[in-house]
Structure 1
Amino acid sequence: MTVTTTLPRAPMDPGLAGFLAQAAAQGNPPLEALPPAVGRQIYRDLAAGLGLPSPVVATEDRSIAGPGGPLKLRIYHPDAAGPLPALFYVHGGGYVIGDLETHDAVCRTLCHSVGAVVVAVDYRLAPEHPFPAAVDDVVCVLQWLAAHAKELRADPSRIALAGDSAGAQLAATACLRTAGTIAPRALGLIYPVAQHHSEPSASMAENGEGKFLTHGVMQWFINCYLDGRSELTRHPDFALLSAPTLAALPPSWVATMGHDPLRDEGHALAQRIEQAGVATEHRHYPGAIHACIHFTAVSPVGGQVVADLADWLRARLA
């Protein structure tokens, strides 16, 4: 993984630094030492307890047939006349934790701010369902959305995808998998997983301890998702930086955080997308950490990331 330019550097946002100091003082066991079910509940509690109130929008839960059984969807409707653009948002959580509840506030905010019907999915999680279960589920939902957009008062010619962390990787992979049959207008990637740790990065060495997402947690996520199969670390449906080409991606917006272990792989991904001839906007937030979009009551940085993504999506989907 090669990053050819230096990103701006800045001290960590004071609110985020205070949150991390308080968390460290509590002396809780590392996430990777806990059963996945406990880690999932911790993530739900953090997302619910550290975010500002989100906009009130109409929602409906439904299920569709998926490759491994029923898939639960949550659909968000803005207070606007259709047909509207549609946004498929894929939650993060390292393929192991995260669900419809952890990212409900993010989806509500994007629904309201973009003026789009937002679709979210409870895709299958590892280690119970290792690779490629999650990406198969996300591809299935993208295909369903393209075929059923009109039922949702959405315009099938104005579909976008977005996601954070592992969800960003899954969203991008779904675009590549369906290239030639579905043509999204836009792709938003917040601190994406792009090729974790197959090649060491400076940002992992710099930020791999004490900044929420640690090296140990990330390695646990990947081991769970890939079922310990090291040969999959370069599989193109996992490692975006190993994909033969990224030219089939739609116009892309990539956000990286200065104090994130995944900063450099996200930066490299933005460069590769642009080098493939895809219109690319890379936004860097020097004082932010991984998962900051959940911590809006602690710091305004995460809210700004989501607001910037919403502005970009709204322009692309106009």
Structure 2
Amino acid sequence: MSKLKLFAIIWAMVVAIMAGFLYTPLPEGIEDPFGAIVFMAFWKILVRYPQLTREFFGQGRYLDNLEAMQIHIFQEDEMRPISSWFGGLNVTRSTIAGVPVIVYKHWDDEDADLRPGFVYFHGGGWIAASADVYDWTVYDIAMRTGVVAINVDYRLAPQHPFPAGFDDVVSVTRYILRHGKKFGIDVSRVGVAGDSAGGNLAAATALHLSKMSSDLPQLKYQVLLHPVLQGLTFRLPAHLDNAETFPILYAKHIAAFASIYLGLGGRNGEFHGTIFFENHHVSPEFRTKSKYAKYVDEKNLPEKYRTPKKTAPIINDSHNETIFQRIKSLIVDPRFSPLMADDLTKLPPTMVVVQKYDVLRDDGLLYAKRLRDSGVETVVHDGKGFHIDHLKLAPEFIHSKTGAKAVKDVCKFISRITRS
């Protein structure tokens, strides 16, 4: 056998093995299979396989190693954000109300009228990622809409459990509403946005500010992308149907993230993830008979999503009383679970982005219905994609089409609302 043939065979084997490692089985009906496969390949390389490697070498199981997911790349003051090299915007680091941020301003701001403001809170389950991970995404939205964007690097659990992250994002938002002119922002046209846990923080911030009597301008809008909005139940149809659909976020993961954010510690993720996912973190009576039960009633979902497509595993109806007593008041605190708030009437126009194959799909849909029932202008983008597929990890030509559609709709919404 010639050396060339041997090389070709070895190369083919390497490609086949890599393809097997990077391939993710897709659910039937997903809109952009290629984009999903590419996104998941990036995710596995950057996040999932490093975690599995740690587990293999005895550094602890994935959910017991969540602190290792705290990605703080290029955070030093002397390091420029990646998007500062793209051109088009003046991208700089700053500190607002003691919180690190990345600011995206347009080069002509000194000569132009004040621009709308956009305060973004990154995802990562309250325990991972950073403003830098979302740098490209926020840059893209700022370029498309003409806003001055503030990308907030709030504190993370388990070192800083609830309400530390919430306090940070509220402090930054309040500062922008009061002093936004320093950044070229029209304070009457400021909105908040975020995805996943960041969507939770955006919703909680908007809700908190809507209830405060102050001289601050009201928020102009909120954009909630794939938000987690409650922790009362982790057995909604989306939790069950998409429990392990995409490795970017399993149902057991978000359950563990919630437990850590609520202060149960970062070394028992597997245990707490199971307790929460099986709804053993609250008593059955509290979950089904309290005044909050109606907010997670599956009847409030669109008809096509009310019944799980997959048979739910049978679990006993017990609960962990120790955990329940520790989180009983927190689990329904609107600062953690905006869906549990009694009054949503004063919230600004809202866009909610959900994707069919996302474990958090139903949180967004339940909240959207409550907002509409409360008289709040609400736009829902109901796509056929997956969790945080709007996140830009690669050039546009291999960006998920479902995520690109969502970003396009978000930009249209922001442009329309800020012009009114």
TM range (shorter): 0.7 to 0.9
- The answer to which structure, 1 or 2, has the higher relative contact order (CA under 8 A, 6+ apart) is 1
3-state secondary structure, aligned to 1:303: helix
- Counterpart of 1:218 (choices 216, 239, 254) is 254
Could you tell me which amino acid in structure 2 is paired with residue 194 of structure 1?
A: L
Q: Which residue does the alignment assign to 1:299?
A: 400
Q: 1:73–1:21: structure 2 CA closer, same or farther, 3 Å change rule?
A: closer
Residue-by-residue CA offset, 1:196-217 (whole Å, 9 max, x unaligned): 4525201111101141210221
Max Rg structure:
2
TM (normalized to structure 1)? 0.86
Matched, 1:290 2:387: yes
Q: Which residue does the alignment assign to 1:18?
A: 37
Instruction: Say if 2:334 and 2:341, in contact at 8 Å, map to a contact too.
Output: yes
- The separation in 2 between residues aligned to 1:152 and 1:178, in whole angstroms, is 21
Q: Which residue does the alignment assign to 2:277?
A: none
Gap runs ≥5 in structure 1? 1-8, 45-50
- Counterpart of 2:244 (choices 209, 224, 244) is 209
Moved more, 126-135 or 12-21: 12-21
Could you tell me which amino acid in structure 1 is paired with residue 96 of structure 2?
A: I
- The separation in 2 between residues aligned to 1:187 and 1:270, in whole angstroms, is 12
> What pairs up with 1:81-230 in 2 under 5 angstroms?
81-179=112-210, 180-181=213-214, 182-196=217-231, 198=233, 200-211=235-246, 212-228=248-264, 229-230=326-327
CA drift at 1:10? 3.1
- Counterpart of 1:243 (choices 341, 348, 354) is 341
TM (normalized to structure 2)? 0.66
Gap runs ≥5 in structure 2? 1-27, 53-60, 75-82, 265-325
3-state secondary structure, aligned to 1:142: helix
CA drift at 1:150? 1.0
Q: Which residue does the alignment assign to 2:287?
A: none
Residue-by-residue CA offset, 1:149-185 (whole Å, 9 max, x unaligned): 1111111111111111111111111112122434111
Instruction: Say if 1:85 and 1:117, in contact at 8 Å, map to a contact too.
Output: yes
Q: 1:126–1:84: structure 2 CA closer, same or farther, 3 Å change rule?
A: same
Q: Which residue does the alignment assign to 1:308?
A: 409
- The separation in 2 between residues aligned to 1:57 and 1:130, in whole angstroms, is 34
CA drift at 1:291? 1.7
- The separation in 1 between residues aligned to 2:107 and 2:405, in whole angstroms, is 23
Identity %: 28
Could you tell me which amino acid in structure 1 is paired with residue 240 of structure 2?
A: A
- The separation in 1 between residues aligned to 2:404 and 2:239, in whole angstroms, is 24
CA drift at 1:300? 2.1
Q: 1:214–1:85: structure 2 CA closer, same or farther, 3 Å change rule?
A: same
- The separation in 2 between residues aligned to 1:98 and 1:21, in whole angstroms, is 16
- The separation in 1 between residues aligned to 2:233 and 2:129, in whole angstroms, is 24
Instruction: Say if 1:87 and 1:162, in contact at 8 Å, map to a contact too.
Output: yes
- The separation in 2 between residues aligned to 1:58 and 1:130, in whole angstroms, is 33
Could you tell me which amino acid in structure 2 is paired with residue 309 of structure 1?
A: V
3-state secondary structure, aligned to 1:234: coil
Q: Which residue does the alignment assign to 1:234?
A: 332
- The separation in 1 between residues aligned to 2:336 and 2:240, in whole angstroms, is 22
Matched, 1:39 2:74: no
Q: Cα RMSD over matched residues?
A: 2.5
Residue-by-residue CA offset, 1:257-299 (whole Å, 9 max, x unaligned): 110010111111111111111000111012x110211256342
Instruction: Say if 2:234 and 2:255, in contact at 8 Å, map to a contact too.
Output: no
- The separation in 1 between residues aligned to 2:136 and 2:40, in whole angstroms, is 25
Could you tell me which amino acid in structure 1 is paired with residue 257 of structure 2?
A: F
Moved more, 212-221 or 265-274: 212-221
- The separation in 1 between residues aligned to 2:380 and 2:245, in whole angstroms, is 26
Could you tell me which amino acid in structure 2 is paired with residue 289 of structure 1?
A: F
- The separation in 1 between residues aligned to 2:400 and 2:73, in whole angstroms, is 18
More strand by share: 1
Instruction: Say if 1:55 and 1:112, in contact at 8 Å, map to a contact too.
Output: no
Q: Which residue does the alignment assign to 1:60?
A: 92
